């Protein structure tokens, strides 16, 4: 079965491509390399010891997408391609709506034209806004607090409407919590541009000496130690969730919406300590102001994923930090500088 992976050169996409191929799927990667390096594909090819067909193109360009479907009979699409920087989305909302929302709509149109009606979409825990309680269940109220989050909610709604209009579609919406870590080989991982927005890459860059210290955004939240609590999930566990979803997609008779998280919450200070243990390096930090838009606590109730996808996150916080450190220490500049 040929699976089209949009955004397959990116962080989560590249890890998922490895697992898909290991599970016996044939994979075509579609990416415009806006936030990815071709080196990630070369590294994936090394891990799986085979070459991957990569089509360079943009979601919003119908002809780029058509060229994929003309050449290959695609049975399902795993749709990772999108922009994900929350802060940038506030400054440039139209860029986000165009890329993430319009891009997804064009993708669905072209899929339907070629009678490919099976899609797994990368949604996010951000669609729960500031949840009234935790752990978070899939039927909690939805509320986005920034254009990035709204773009995810809009695509969820678009896909639900697509299903209402034609219930032969097979649609799974996967809501990720906080993906971290890297493939155990240490050869692929997260490679943020510039100063990282997210906690784990910032901690990793501090440990490796690229950043002087980490700013801990607030220590006065109503949490175990006052710092923000999140559900960090190993990217390989997350990738496995996609393989399980794909294995089952044909059996589902409605749009499936599933949380992919571990069900456990760790604070910023706990993450710093876990990373120090894994790396044997000191992570200098200073307590700073709260970051606008942040919430105190966010973690999943992952029981529905177990029930419908037979999936459960398996890797511990120590493994997340060890694998993240292996990637960071072996590739202090990520994929940059490699031609």
The CB density around residue 62, as the number of other CB atoms within 10 Å, is: 15
Residue 129, token pair as written in the block: 């806004």
> Which C-beta is closer to ligand UFG: that of 195 or that of 338?
195
Binding ligand UFG (rule: CB under 6 A), the pick from 25, 96, 176, 275 is 176
Residue 277: burial class (beta carbons within 10 Å; 0-12, 13-18, 19+): middle
> What would the x/- binding string for ligand NAD be over residues 92 to 111, using CB under 6 A?
-------x---x--------
Binding ligand UFG (rule: CB under 6 A), the pick from 89, 122, 126, 331 is 126
> Which C-beta is closer to ligand UFG: that of 130 or that of 254?
130
Residue 217 beta carbon to ligand UFG: minimum distance, rounded to whole angstroms: 4
For residue 294, the partner it binds in ligand NAD, ligand UFG, none, with Cβ less than 5 to 8 A by kind, is: ligand UFG
176 near ligand NAD, rule: CB under 6 A: yes
Residue 110, token pair as written in the block: 């072209």
Identify the active-site residue in 148, 176, 221, 232.
148
Residue 128 beta carbon to ligand UFG: minimum distance, rounded to whole angstroms: 9
Whether 146 contacts 93, CB under 8 Å:
no
Please, which of residues 276-335 interact with ligand UFG by CB under 6 A? Answer: 291, 294
Distances (CA, A) of 301 to 156, 175, 176, 307: 20, 11, 12, 12
For residue 13, the partner it binds in ligand UFG, ligand NAD, none, with Cβ less than 5 to 8 A by kind, is: ligand NAD
31 near ligand NAD, rule: CB under 6 A: yes
Binding ligand NAD (rule: CB under 6 A), the pick from 38, 42, 60, 95 is 60
Size of the site for ligand NAD (CB under 6 A): 28
Binding ligand NAD (rule: CB under 6 A), the pick from 84, 117, 183, 315 is 84
C-beta pairs of 203-207 under 8 Å, 24+ apart in sequence = 203/271, 203/272, 203/275, 203/283, 204/275, 204/279, 204/324, 204/325, 204/327, 204/328, 205/328, 206/283, 206/284, 206/285, 207/275, 207/276, 207/279, 207/281, 207/282, 207/283, 207/325, 207/328
Dihedral angle over CA of 171, 58, 179, 255, nearest 10: -10
To the query of whether residue 34 is one of the catalytic residues in this protein, the response is: no
User: Which helix (DSSP H) or strand (DSSP E) does residue 148 occupy?
Assistant: helix 147-165
> Which C-beta is closer to ligand NAD: that of 45 or that of 226?
45
Radius of gyration of the chain (CA): 19
10 near ligand NAD, rule: CB under 6 A: yes
12 near ligand NAD, rule: CB under 6 A: yes
99 near ligand UFG, rule: CB under 6 A: no
Provide DSSP, 309-331: H-------HHHHHHHHHHHHHH-
User: Which helix (DSSP H) or strand (DSSP E) does residue 306 occupy?
Assistant: helix 303-309
Residue for token pair 């034609």: 166
| Residue nearest ligand UFG, CB atom distance | 228
334 near ligand NAD, rule: CB under 6 A: no
For residue 9, the partner it binds in ligand UFG, ligand NAD, none, with Cβ less than 5 to 8 A by kind, is: ligand NAD
**β-strands 214-217, 178-180 pairing:** unpaired
18 near ligand NAD, rule: CB under 6 A: no
Residues that bind ligand UFG (CB under 6 A): 84, 86, 124-126, 176-178, 197-199, 202, 214-217, 228, 230, 268, 291, 294
């Amino acid at each position: 079965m040929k699976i089209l992976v949009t955004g397959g050169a990116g962080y989560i996409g590249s890890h998922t491509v490895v697992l898909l191929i290991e599970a016996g799927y044939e994979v075509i990667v579609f990416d415009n390399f806006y936030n990815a390096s071709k080196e990630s594909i070369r590294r994936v090819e090394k891990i799986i010891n085979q070459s991957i067909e990569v089509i360079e193109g943009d979601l919003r360009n119908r002809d780029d997408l058509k060229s994929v479907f003309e050449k290959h009979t695609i049975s399902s699409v795993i749709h990772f391609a999108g922009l994900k920087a929350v802060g940038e989305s506030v400054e440039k909302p139209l860029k986000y709506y165009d890329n993430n929302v319009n891009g997804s709509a064009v993708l669905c149109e072209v899929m339907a034209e070629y009678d490919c009606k099976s899609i797994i979409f990368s949604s996010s825990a951000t669609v729960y806004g500031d949840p009234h309680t935790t752990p978070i269940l899939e039927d909690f109220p939805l509320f986005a607090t920034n254009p990035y989050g709204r773009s995810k909610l809009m695509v969820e709604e678009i896909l639900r409407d697509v299903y209402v209009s034609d219930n032969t579609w097979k649609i799974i919406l996967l809501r990720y919590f906080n993906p971290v870590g890297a493939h155990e080989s240490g050869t692929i991982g997260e490679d943020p541009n510039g100063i990282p927005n997210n906690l784990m890459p910032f901690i990793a860059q501090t440990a490796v000496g690229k950043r002087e210290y980490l700013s801990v955004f607030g220590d006065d939240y109503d949490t175990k130690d006052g710092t923000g609590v999140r559900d960090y999930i190993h990217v390989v566990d997350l990738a496995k969730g996609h393989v399980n979803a794909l294995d089952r997609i044909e059996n589902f008779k409605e749009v499936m919406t599933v949380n992919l998280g571990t069900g456990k919450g760790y604070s910023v200070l706990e993450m710093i300590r876990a990373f120090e243990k894994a790396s044997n390096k000191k992570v200098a930090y200073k307590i700073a102001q709260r970051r606008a838009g942040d919430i105190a606590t966010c973690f999943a109730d992952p029981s529905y994923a177990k029930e419908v996808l037979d999936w459960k996150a398996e890797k511990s916080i120590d493994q997340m930090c060890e694998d993240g450190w292996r990637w960071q220490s072996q590739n202090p500049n990520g994929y940059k500088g490699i031609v």
